[in-house]
Chain A
Amino acid sequence: MNIANLFNNYEEAIAMILFGIGFSNLLLQKNLIKKIIGLNIMDTATYLFLALKGYIDGRKAPIVVNGVQSVEAYINPIPSGLVLTGIVVSVSVTALMLSLTIRLYRRYHTLDLDEISTKLKKEGL
């Protein structure tokens, strides 16, 4: 293992650190909104990683302008496509989570998931 690699590929390292931050926030935070923020950090970190993998130094986004059709001119478009798909997925999941949060908040007037659990136990449903 070479520590220098970590600094040479600092972008990937940052993406992984962000993923860790998002993952632990989604898992450990009690507040539902903070959990959702964690989810978005986690997803965005994955997209950063994907985008980095498709990027080739000195080339442009894969949109044909001025009739340049050479493959050499553009970056790899597939990761960008995957990122777009991923964003769509994460938007819909976030919307679903937010709507669940609103429902729970209207019912229990709190965003704390543990507090909601204790209230549920008191209700004894």
Chain B
Amino acid sequence: MQFVQNFPFITIILSLFSGPLCSILDGKKAKKINLAVISIIGGMSCAVLAFVIRTGEAYVYRMGHFSAPWGNEIRVGVLEAAMAVFFCVIMLLCMVGGVLEREKELEESKANLYYVMVNLLLCSLLALIYTNDLFTAYVFVEINTISACGLIMIKQNGRTLEAATRYMIMSLLGSGCLLLGICFLYDLTGHLLMSNIQEQVQILHQTGQYAMPLLVALGLMSVGLAIKSALFPFHSWLPDAYGYSTVSSAAILSSLVSKGYIFLLVKIFYRVIGFDIVRDSKVINVLFVFGIAGMIMGSVRAIQENNIRRMIAYSSVAQIGYIYMGFGLGTTAGVIASIYHIVCHAATKSLLFVAASGITDASGESTDFFELTGAGYRNKVAGIAFSVGSLSMVGVPMFSGFISKLLFAQAGMASVHKMLPTLIALAISTILNAVYFMKTVIRLYTPVSRSVIEKKGYRTITVNDQKAKSAALICFIILNLILGLCSEPIIGLIQSGLGMFA
């Protein structure tokens, strides 16, 4: 056993303990520790990724002194390690990009608590990525929910409190379903480790025993995680939570928290139940229908919205719909497209949130759509970044969104029954995306006369005014271009990672 194999465990423990540590420090030190922890974990995850790519196979890491089927395990493959690296990068950029807002919006005495939450969130995300034990996954899902709720409500006003309450209620409904599903599975198979459950489920499937309870368990877990990741009919909490919390929170929530749950769902599909059984069940058709509904309805609501933050939030609903549509296709190509879209959406949506905050800074702190006219000239970096994000979400070649749309379309073509709905939904959703994103970009670059700017007191923001945010935005743009231009190795990585899941 090589030393690098300990790294996944060390990263989880490091983020877990740095959380309580931040609670006794003041805000500034906590911020430094937080940034250091995220960077160190990112570096360690890179080492793990290099290791698993070199060995070419996943390994299981035993936690404690009991081996399977009794003990607890961590399992590391290419996909898990790659996700960990990617989540660290996004989280670091979100934290750097929102540093000014946090100083402004958080109370001085409570600033350190924010970093407690972020560290715990990172810990739970890593645990969700790596764990091989379903009940551990449930516990970390709850930790994820609690810390995400903290991230929403730390900016104290009525809106965020209400949003946090609504978020908690929907999340708790979701975790109730998830827990019941896990209990059913434990009852049917007698195991909690994913690989052991899969063996038993395969036997049950072959003998045809307990077909109904198995379906119920799968349905409960899918619905539970769909509620938590804000699939279309369950998205009511999302616009408020993303629209009014501080910008780092909104970016982290939209790009990482919901993706952690979706990644867990992929693991459940592939490692717990087995993708063949999932495909034979009707559950994926339900996900497909709601995914398509979300793609359209999310975009329609985004068009109606006059608040730029809420508009981006509704766009998230649409993008989550894309991801579930990919699962609903029931092919490996569809799942690869979905995972690529998880990556693409995480990179783009956090870019959009940070860019939107830069734009509103140049428009008298107003998120109202009509105040943003000409903001692209007043804050050049944010304007360019927002345009890049918009083009990517619409699916213009060169940017990451294009690749994921292409993958979805290719996966859809391979499916006999679902080809037409997939392609039609993709086309409609692309047009709707273009309507609201291009509308915003055009408004950003509509010149306004000097007198209006002076009357409203808009300020011009240069790179030097907001160094951290501009740097984060430039990194985001580069990340987006990398995802858009060199997608082949990333898709190859996802493919080999999914292969290791089986």
Contacts and interface: CB of A to CB of B under 8 A. Distances in A.
B464 interface: no
Contacts of A107: 158, 161
A35 to B, nearest CB: 6
A122 to B, nearest CB: 10
B169 A46 contact: no
Contacts of A97: 165, 168, 172
A119 B244 CA distance: 16
B180 A104 contact: no
A89 B270 CA distance: 27
B165 A104 contact: yes
A27 B172 CA distance: 10
Looking at chain B's contact residues, the main secondary structure is: helix
A13 interface: no
B183 A96 contact: no
Interface residues of B, number: 28
B176 A42 contact: yes
Interface in A66-125: 78-79, 82, 85-86, 89, 92-93, 96-97, 100-101, 103-104, 107-108, 113, 116-117, 119-120, 123, 125
Contacts of A82: 135, 183, 186
Interface string B112-156: 000000000000000000000001001100100110010001000
B261 to A, nearest CB: 16
B183 A53 contact: yes
Interface residues of A, number: 37
B157 A23 contact: no
B179 A46 contact: yes
A100 B158 contact: no
Nearest to B168: A97
Contacts of B157: 125
A35 B159 contact: no
B179 A120 contact: no
Contacts of A49: 180, 183
Contact of B176 (A43, A92, A113, A116): A43
Given A49-B180, A85-B139, A26 B172 contact: yes
Interface string B170-181: 001100100110
B162 interface: yes
A125 B145 CA distance: 25
Contact of A96 (B146, B180, B192): B146
Which 3 pairs of residues, A with B, have the shortest CB-CB distance? A89-B142, A53-B187, A42-B176
13 contacts: A26-B169, A27-B173, A39-B176, A43-B179, A82-B183, A96-B146, A100-B165, A100-B168, A101-B165, A104-B162, A113-B165, A116-B158, A116-B162
